[in-house]
A and B are shown apart, each in its own frame.
Chain A
Amino acid sequence: MNELQVYLFVALILFCLGLTGVLQRRSLIAMLISVELMLNAASLNFMAFNRFLTPEPAVGQIVTLFIIGTAAAEAAIGLSIILAVFRRYQSIDIERARELKG
């Protein structure tokens, strides 16, 4: 295994962990953390490709900066919606919020 593959492998594991987290976890905060894991996996991929493959030195790093910034905005929006859910159901368990069906 060369170095690039190690990074790609780690990123893939992170991504899969995040995906299972979002689908399996019942706590909204844990789901949010899992989404962040998925985003970090993408960042890691960008950085690794940038370091080992591309001639242009900065593009992957800029992408990562943008991912970090948008992830923070996403977390802020997500947390405020979670707060609204908490106030209504007194819980952050996703099972409580399942009235819409059909």
Chain B
Amino acid sequence: MLNQVILFLPELFFLFMALVLFGLTVASGEPKPRRDYHTALVLSAIGAVITLGSIGAEGHLFFKAYRLDLFSQLFKCFLGFGLFLVICISSKLDGIAERHHPEFYLFLTTSTLGMMLLVSAVELITLFVALELSSYSLYILVPMRKGSDHDSEAGIKFFFIGAMASATMLFGMSYIYGVCHTTYLAEIMTTLPQLIHTPGAVVGMVLTLCGLFFKLAVFPFHNWAPDVYEGGANQVVAFVATVSKMAGMAILIRLVALTGGDSTYLMNVLIILAIVGMTLGNLVAIKQKDFKRLLAYSSIAHAGYVLLGILSMSEIGYASVIYYALAYLILNVACFMVLVTMSEKGQNVKIDDFSGLYKRAPLLAVTLLLGVFGLAGLPPTGGFTGKFLIFIAAIEKGYLWLVIFAMVNVTISLYYYIGVVKAAYLNPPAEGSEPIRISIPLRLLNYALIIVILWLGLYPSTLFDQAKIAAEAVLAVL
């Protein structure tokens, strides 16, 4: 009993954190944003440490519906730190009315909790409920923005595309259940590879993946991304862009691993989605003026690169996706941190607003440079190493032409990423703009992010070895 509680400790802690924050939402009196911020910050820091400590845990819980292995624990750790980083950049939370700050933290926490359950779930019902817990919290967070005209529009688009995707996913799951006669992934994994050439299994699998394509903003379910990025409050978008994407990648690996790796139909579908997603994302991103919108289209393209790693369906492929997920998290947090610091009243930031950033705040300019170059995939950042690993995995499986295509896309994407850097470094500052003041904790966060980005780029071996062991854990019989 006690043993089980210890295994479940990270989730229990985040549940406790949600309860404390719930207490704050119903506390009487004037809103106290500083108190809310510090409570959430301290709790999420403790939570991140607990997830780090539970990395070695292994076992099964809840009638084997819930599995702890290196894969799930590694992702829980990423999620815990992701939440911590997002809360770190929420110290100046102007985008949301002060009386709603506790709700903001509460729903961030429940969403993270849902994702933690998601990466450990090895049973279809558990997986579905966890996915819905994380999505519903996000549906509420997006329309919460203060004084914006677009937040409810973004919220409604997000909600409907999400609801449609999850209904499609359920419909697909029902076919998988019909083909395999069970909801346990372990049993599905033994029967599905033999049946993967039957139409029922292929249709079921593709429809099931739709729910995850929504989370990752893969091509047919990408429409929400630009509008939600533009309409949502900056910090909420930072969460959607980082933590939520990572959970999507994790569960995508888990589900694709079920098919056993030689399904031609599924491969073809994934290849087409990857190609269309990359091209569409990169081409439309070129003409964007709003930085968040640009990041949205770049995220659609990045989902394409991730699919490239996943469709190689090998241990190296999955490991490279895990590595890429972490790099993507850090790079996006870096970009959003600059964005949040730049935006004085929580408004959106245009690319032209970066003009002369190197004079107004040299440190922010360096972080932005590294973040954007990382997303573009230039060395020596983590983004380069992640893409490199994914491309190698794909070439090993004989997808040379696909990798060449992706390289062409990376080159296209350089154009708009460099546009951002050009604005920050070469354009003169606008008339009357003042230097941006950076507080000491924010300065520390800047240094930490710069170090991690470079570390991920230069010394990938330690983490990549862990990722390989984690990928083995997914591929091993569950």
Q: Do A and B touch (CB < 8 Å)?
A: yes
- Chain A binding surface SS class: helix
Contact A54 B171 (CB under 8 A): no
When the two chains form their complex, are residues B160 and A84 in contact, meaning their CB atoms are under 8 A apart?
no
- Name 19 extra pairs, CB < 8 A, besides A15-B171, A53-B181, A97-B153: A32-B163, A42-B167, A45-B174, A54-B177, A59-B177, A59-B183, A63-B183, A73-B132, A74-B166, A77-B140, A77-B159, A78-B159, A81-B143, A81-B155, A84-B143, A97-B156, A99-B149, A99-B153, A102-B293
Contacts of B177 in A (CB 8 A): 45-46, 49, 54, 59-60, 63
Closest Cβ neighbor of A18 among chain B residues: B167
Interface residue ranges of A50-95 to B (CB < 8 Å): 53-56, 59-60, 62-63, 66-67, 70, 73-74, 77-78, 81-82, 84-85, 88, 94
For B293, give the chain A residue with the smallest CB separation. A102
Can you name the residue of chain A whose Cβ is closest to the Cβ of B284?
A102
**Closest residue of chain B to A49, judged by CB?**
B178
Complex contact B171–A82 (CB within 8 A):
no
Whether the Cβ atoms of B164 and A100 lie closer than 8 Å is: no
A62 proximity list for chain B (CB < 8 A): 125
Chain B interface residue bracket vs A: 35 or more
- Give the distance to chain B from A75, nearest Cβ to Cβ, in Å: 9
Contacts from A to B (Cβ < 8 Å): 11, 15, 18-19, 22, 28, 31-32, 35, 38-39, 41-42, 45-46, 48-49, 53-56, 59-60, 62-63, 66-67, 70, 73-74, 77-78, 81-82, 84-85, 88, 94, 97-100, 102
Which residue on chain A has the smallest CB distance to residue B136? A77
Contacting residue for A98 out of B124, B153, B164, B170, CB 8 A: B153
Q: What's the least CB distance linking A55 to chain B, in Å?
A: 7
The residue of chain A having its C-beta at the shortest distance from the C-beta of B287 within the complex is A102
Using Cβ atoms and an 8 Å threshold, which residues of chain B touch A11?
171, 174
The answer, yes or no, to whether B129 is at the interface (CB within 8 Å) is yes
Once the chains bind, are B183 and A100 in contact (CB under 8 Å)? no
Q: Indicate if B173 sits at the interface (CB-CB under 8 A).
A: yes
Which chain B residue lies CB-closest to A96?
B153
A67 to B289, CA, bound (A): 41
CA distance A62 to B129 in the complex (A): 12
**B156 CB contact (under 8 Å) in A19, A74, A82:** A82
Q: Mark B223-234, 1 if CB is under 8 A from A, else 0.
A: 000110011000
A-B contact pairs, 26 of them (CB 8 A): A19-B164, A32-B163, A38-B167, A38-B170, A39-B170, A41-B167, A49-B174, A56-B181, A60-B177, A63-B174, A66-B129, A77-B140, A77-B159, A78-B160, A78-B163, A81-B139, A85-B153, A85-B155, A88-B149, A99-B149, A99-B150, A100-B154, A100-B157, A100-B226, A102-B288, A102-B290
Known: A46-B174, A81-B139. A35 touches B181 (CB 8 A): no
- Whether a CB of chain A sits under 8 angstroms from the CB of B175 is yes
CB distance from B329 to the nearest CB of A (A): 26
Q: Would A39 and B149 count as touching, CB distance under 8 A? A: no
Which of B129, B159, B231 is close to A100, meaning CB atoms less than 8 Å apart?
B231
Q: Is the CB of B160 within 8 A of A22?
A: yes
Chain B minimum-CB-distance residue to A97: B153
Q: Is the CB of B125 within 8 A of A74?
A: no
Residues of B within 8 A of A39 (CB): 167, 170
A82 and B225 alpha carbons, distance in the complex (Å) = 19
Smallest Cβ distance from A92 to chain B, in angstroms? Answer: 10
Which residues of the other chain, A, contact B347 by a CB distance below 8 angstroms?
none
Contact of B155 among A15, A74, A84 (CB under 8 A): A84
| Contact for A73 among B125, B136, B150, B293, CB less than 8 A | B136
Q: Which residue on A lies nearest to B229, using beta carbons? A: A100
Q: Are B156's CB and A81's CB within 8 A?
A: yes
Specify which of A48, A81, A85 lies most central, judged by the most chain B CB atoms within 10 Å of its CB. Answer: A81
B230 near A45 with CB under 8 A, answer: no
For B297, the closest partner residue in chain A by CB is: A102
Q: Determine the distance from Cα of A84 to Cα of B154 in the docked complex, in whole angstroms.
A: 11
CA distance A77 to B167 in the complex (A): 15
The verdict on B128 contacting chain A, using a C-beta distance below 8 Å, is yes
Distance between Cα atoms of A28 and B293 in the complex (Å): 25
Hey, which chain B residues are within 8 Å of A38, CB to CB? 164, 167-168, 170-171
Q: Which residues of B contact A67 (CB under 8 A)?
A: 170
B25 within 8 A of A: no
In the bound assembly, the distance between CA atoms of A38 and B207 in angstroms comes to 13
Residues of A within 8 A of B128 (CB): 66, 70
Known: A63-B183, A102-B226. A45 touches B178 (CB 8 A): yes
When distances are taken between beta carbons in the complex, the residues of chain A under 8 Å from B159 are 77-78, 81
Closest approach, in angstroms, between the C-beta of A53 and any C-beta of chain B?
A: 6
Task: Check B150 against A100 for contact (C-beta < 8 Å).
Answer: yes
B91 proximal to A (CB < 8 A): no
Chain B residues, Cβ within 8 Å of A55: 181
With A39-B170, A77-B139, A82-B156 in contact, do A22 and B125 touch (Cβ < 8 Å)? no
**Judging by beta carbons under 8 Å apart, are A88 and B163 in contact?**
no
**A22 lies within 8 A of B164 (CB):** yes
Whether A70 and B164, one on each chain, are in contact in the complex, defined by CB atoms closer than 8 angstroms, is no
